[in-house]
Chains A and B, each alone.
Chain A
Amino acid sequence: MKVLVPVKRVIDYNVKVRVKADGSGVDLANVKMSMNPFDEIAVEEAIRLKEAGKADEVIAVSIGVKQAQETLRTALAMGADRAILVVAADDVHTDIEPLAVAKILKGIVDAEEPGLVIAGKQAIDNDMNATGQMLAALTGWAQATFANKLDVDGDSATVTREVDGGLQTIKVKLPAIVTTDLRLNEPRYASLPNIMKAKKKPMEEKTPADYGVDVTPRLSIVSTSEPPTRQAGEMVGSVDELVSKLKERGAI
Chain B
Amino acid sequence: MHFGLTDEQEMIVSTVRSFVEKEIYPHEAEVERTGKVPPEVAEAIKQKTIELGFYACNFPEEVGGAGLSHLDFALVERELGRGSMALNHFFGRPQNILMACEGEQKERYLLPAVRGEKMDALAMTEPDAGSDVRGMKCAAVRKGGDWVVNGSKHFISGAEHADFFIVFVATGVDDTPRGPKKRITCFLVDRGTPGFEVRPGYNSVSHKGYQNCILTFDDCRLSDAQVLGEVDGGFAVMNEWLYATRITVATMSVGRARRCFDYAVQYAAEREQFGQPIAKFQGVSFQIADMITEIDAADLLTLSSAWRLDQGLPANREIASAKLYASEMLARVTDATLQIHGGMGLMDDLPIERFWRDARVERIWDGTSEIQRHIISRELFRPLGA
A-side residues, CB < 8 A to B, are 34, 69-70, 73-74, 77, 189-196, 198-199
Q: In the complex, A58→B14 CA distance in Å?
A: 22
A sample of 10 more A-B contacts (CB under 8 A), given A198-B8, A198-B11, is A70-B10, A73-B11, A77-B15, A189-B15, A190-B15, A191-B54, A192-B15, A192-B57, A193-B66, A195-B12
Interface string of B1-40 (1 = CB under 8 A from A): 0000001101110110011000000000000000000000
- Residues of B within 8 Å of A191, CB to CB, are 51-54
Let me know if B19 and A189 touch, CB within 8 A: yes
Let me know if A198 and B66 touch, CB within 8 A: no
Q: In the complex, A198→B18 CA distance in Å?
A: 19
- Residues of B within 8 Å of A193, CB to CB, are 53, 66
Distance in angstroms from A74 CB to nearest chain B CB is: 6
Q: Which residue of A lies closest to B272 (CB)?
A: A232
Let me know if A192 and B7 touch, CB within 8 A: no
For A34, A191, A198, which residue has the most chain B Cβ atoms within 10 angstroms?
A: A191
> Which listed residue (B14, B18, B53) contacts A192, Cβ 8 A?
B53
- 8 pairs, CB–CB < 8 Å, chain A vs chain B: A70-B7, A73-B8, A191-B51, A191-B52, A192-B57, A193-B53, A198-B8, A199-B7
- Residues of A within 8 Å of B54, CB to CB, are 191-192
Q: Which residue of B lies closest to A72 (CB)?
A: B7
Q: In the complex, A64→B246 CA distance in Å?
A: 43
- Residues of A within 8 Å of B10, CB to CB, are 70
Q: Which residue of B lies closest to A199 (CB)?
A: B8
Let me know if B7 and A189 touch, CB within 8 A: no
Tell me what chain B mostly uses at the interface: helix, strand, loop, or mixed. Answer: helix
- Residues of A within 8 Å of B11, CB to CB, are 73-74, 77, 190, 195, 198
Distance in angstroms from A118 CB to nearest chain B CB is: 22
- Count residues of B near A (Cβ-Cβ below 8 Å): 15
- Residues of B within 8 Å of A34, CB to CB, are 14
- Residues of B within 8 Å of A74, CB to CB, are 11, 14
For B14, B18, B19, B57, which residue has the most chain A Cβ atoms within 10 angstroms?
A: B14
- Residues of B within 8 Å of A77, CB to CB, are 11, 15
Interface string of B29-73 (1 = CB under 8 A from A): 000000000000000000000011110010000000010000000
Let me know if B51 and A198 touch, CB within 8 A: no
Q: In the complex, A198→B8 CA distance in Å?
A: 8
Distance in angstroms from B7 CB to nearest chain A CB is: 5
Q: In the complex, A34→B18 CA distance in Å?
A: 12
Q: In the complex, A194→B51 CA distance in Å?
A: 11
Q: In the complex, A74→B15 CA distance in Å?
A: 10
Let me know if A196 and B52 touch, CB within 8 A: no
Q: Which residue of A lies closest to B266 (CB)?
A: A16
Let me know if A195 and B51 touch, CB within 8 A: no
Q: In the complex, A192→B66 CA distance in Å?
A: 7
Q: In the complex, A231→B14 CA distance in Å?
A: 35
Q: In the complex, A190→B11 CA distance in Å?
A: 8
For B7, B11, B14, B54, which residue has the most chain A Cβ atoms within 10 angstroms?
A: B11
Q: Which residue of B lies closest to A197 (CB)?
A: B8
